[in-house]
Amino acid sequence: MNDFHVHTSFCDGKNPPEEMVISAIKLNMKKIGLVYHSYVPFDEEFCIKKGNEKAFSDEIDRLREKYRGKIEILKGVEKDYFSDTSDDCCDYAIGSVHYIKIGGEYFSVDESAEKFESLAKDKFGGDYYAFAEEYFRLVSDVVNKTNADIIGHFDLISKFNEGGRFFDENNKRYKKCAYNAIEKLVKYGVPFEINTGAISRGYRKTPYPNADFIEKIESLGGKFILSSDAHSAENLCFGFRGIKINNINENFKAF
């Protein structure tokens, strides 16, 4: 197994890089991609510290030498749509949308259910489908904006929506804006994550994207890659063996 979306204590992860590598070796993983959240000046709690990219790169170089022959370690960045920092030190980038921008202010879409609900009410008058249209407008441009090699958690906006808590994921407006984004993104030939991070943290019972979006991506010839989005060692490759998607192995992107 491989896992290319693994966070460490260089951003909002629990474990330092070496602990993640040791755990990966114990799982007989062949490759691991250690990533950091790119720096954004308006929300410094979750991202890498400003200017700390070189320290991250140097640490991964050290671990590559120490564990050479046991596991291949890659450097990655989860680059947010609104981040303008350089990622030259990295082998690949995961392009993600974590925020929307309204009137010069940035708002997180995945920090908490309470803030998600307040954002929908305060900025969209409670119209969750207008909220989704703005979110997927950004997602549709994420590869162009971030030069991503992987599309991160496509429908992150549904993180707190288990059981239809806030909106109906079968609503025509919701599906239309998501489908439009999928149709634009598949043209890049970049794989979409099958991301199990919200399952391991107890928010969802199924991965991102939802089953309907996976089917749409498949129908257009889109590619997939499994990602745990692990923020702790115990969640490496979380739920991978339980995912049943036709021909997913054939659609893996090899780095």
pLDDT in tens, 99-122: 999 999 999 999 999 999 999 999
Q: How many CB atoms lie within 10 A of CB 6?
A: 29
**Tokens describing residue 63:** 């671990």
Q: Which residue has the higher pLDDT, 13 or 249?
A: 13
Domain that holds residue 96: 2-251
Query: What average pLDDT does range 93-101 have in this prediction?
Result: 98
Instruction: Check pLDDT > 70 for residue 253.
Output: no
pLDDT score at 248: 58
Residue 106 pairs in a beta bridge with: 101
Asked if pLDDT for residue 252 goes beyond 50, the answer is no
Q: Is the pTM of this model over 0.85?
A: yes
Of the candidates 218, 223, 156, 153, the residue with the CA atom closest to the CA atom of residue 188 = 223
For residue 92, give the CATH number of its domain.
3.20.20.140
Task: Kindly state the percentage of the chain with pLDDT values over 70.
Answer: 96
In the chain, the percentage of residues whose pLDDT exceeds 90 is: 91
- Strand 224-227 with 105-108, pairing: unpaired
Pairing verdict, β 31-37 and 224-227 = unpaired
Each residue's pLDDT tens digit, 123-180: 999 999 999 999 999 999 999 999 999 999 999 999 999 999 999 999 999 999 999 9
3-class state of residue 26 by DSSP: helix
* Total domain count, the chain: 1
Task: Name 151's bridge partners.
Answer: 95, 192
What token pair was written down for 251?
């659609």
Residue 87 is predicted with a pLDDT of: 83
